[in-house]
Amino acid sequence: MRIGVLASGRGSNLQALIEVWKQGMLGGDIVAVGSDREDALALQRAQDVGILNQAFPLRNYATRDKQEEAILHWLREQGVELLVLAGFMRVLSQEFLQACQIPVINIHPSLLPAFQGLHAQRQAIEYGVKLSGCTVHYVDEGLDSGPIILQEAVVVLPEDTEASLSDRILEVEHRIYPEAVRLVASGQVRRQGRIVEILC
Ligand code: GRF
């Protein structure tokens, strides 16, 4: 399966995917990495291993819709069959999701449906939960609201700061995101409405 990745920032999840891909264990090939930011470290990470990469900065387009159209056109040109969001900081429009007609998945640093949106780790600490974690889910029109593929819990310690909790959750993200991509890419996931079944 041909996998495309969109990322806005440092790309540590992309790097985790690249490592598993290099071992031939991702269930597909990462063929394209796109970003809405020219300075995203994720683009450099792709470049370093010879993956086609491109920035789509908003200022190059008349509207956000045009920017999305350009991204979608480019992903189609690369024959992408699975779109993986890895720290992509824009919410994709309903039009984009309807038009792209391939699975789109995302990772979020909380146990959804708790703490959607930005600063999920800070939200968890401020709420006082004793467990948080991360969630890989299909992307739908809502904010971090699509059907859940994999989740793993991380204990919130009394002394945790946003940074320390983020670091521990990130370690788990780097393990479960490649695993979720492998499951989806190798057809081991059956989705019926909100319920996602992992086939052994
Ligand atoms: C991760 O915490 C991910 O859960 C969230 O954005 C962050 C991206 O980090 N969606 P990185 O760019 O992959 O290092």
Measure the CA–CA gap between 137 and 121, rounded to whole angstroms.
Answer: 17
11 lines ligand 1 (CB under 6 A): yes
Q: Per-residue pLDDT tens for 147-165?
A: 999 999 999 999 999 999 9
Q: How do beta strands 104-108 and 131-138 pair? A: antiparallel
Measure the CA–CA gap between 105 and 89, rounded to whole angstroms.
Answer: 14
Confidence of residue 131 (pLDDT cuts 50, 70, 90): very high
pLDDT, residue 200, reads 81
Report how far ligand 1's centroid is from the alpha carbon of 76 (Å). 24
15 lines ligand 1 (CB under 6 A): no
Probe target for ligand 1 pocket from 12, 89, 162, with the most ligand atoms within 8 Å of CB: 12
For helices 41-48 and 12-22, the axis angle rounded to 10 degrees is 20
pLDDT, residue 15, reads 98
Could you tell me if 14 and 26 are in contact, meaning their C-beta atoms sit under 8 angstroms apart?
no
Question: For all residues of the chain together, what is the average pLDDT?
Answer: 98
What's the rounded mean pLDDT across residues 163-172? 98
Confidence of residue 57 (pLDDT cuts 50, 70, 90): very high
